[in-house]
Amino acid sequence: MEASGSKQAEASGSKQADDHHSTCAEKFILDNGINLLSLKATDIFKYALILMDALFTETEMSTCCFQQAERGASSSKTPLPPGRVKLLEEILPRKARILTRKARILTKEGKNLDQEGKNLDQEGKNLDQEGKNLDQEGMNLDQEGKNLDQEGKNLDQEGKNLDQEGKNLDQEGKNLDQEGKNLDQEGKNLDQEGKNLDQEGKNLDQEGKNLDQESKNLDQEGKNLDQEGKNLA
């Protein structure tokens, strides 16, 4: 970590903490510019280790004890500088409160994202149902187009029959024949329109499935964030 990697430089500044840190918030900033409250850690226990690396040198950590031994007790180790020990004891509770507040915020954000994911999941399901409805409507229009196409063919046959009926009715038969062809074309157009609507319905159905999958992914992300918030808490 950054604080651990530059331990010697930080320690040289921390040695002056006893003389230069007052009771104001500035006492949490070492003479080398390091803000002890800004040291990054995922929990208070890791923060305590990083903080000790920032406040004490490796020599102090290996050769000194945390506090002065009680009177009458024998100890070969000298205590760590009391000013920095006091600073450590003041910072840890404050940092613990900061981490607790952050954990609560992350937990709340996780719950909000979880709810947002559920809402998107429901929206995806609604869109999926809408796509299915449009798909069914397209199929109905396709069938209607086929029926009109058959009707056009029937009228075309009727025109041919009237043409056969007689020369006097020949012109009338030709007109009816043309009418039948027009209706046949109209039926084909409607058939094509029905197929286009059917394809559109399928596309909307696929879009609904994609949105449903996206909402499930967001729901899972919300659950993961919720779990992360719980872990941080």
39-61 tens-digit pLDDT = 988 899 999 999 998 888 888 88
Mean pLDDT score of the chain: 84
- Give the 3-state secondary structure of residue 79: strand
pLDDT greater at residue 42 or residue 67: 42
pLDDT, mean of residues 2-29: 48
What is the structure's pLDDT at 25? Answer: 59
In angstroms, the CA 3 to CA 38 distance is 10
Residue 24 in this model has a pLDDT that exceeds 60: no
CA distances from 195 to 63, 140, 141, 143, 186 (A): 85, 10, 8, 9, 14
- Assign 187 a pLDDT band (cuts: 50, 70, 90): very high
Both structure tokens of 102: 């952050």
Q: Name the amino acid, one letter, at 145.
A: G
What is the structure's pLDDT at 26? Answer: 74
pTM higher than 0.75: no
- Where is 78: in which H helix or E strand? strand 78-79
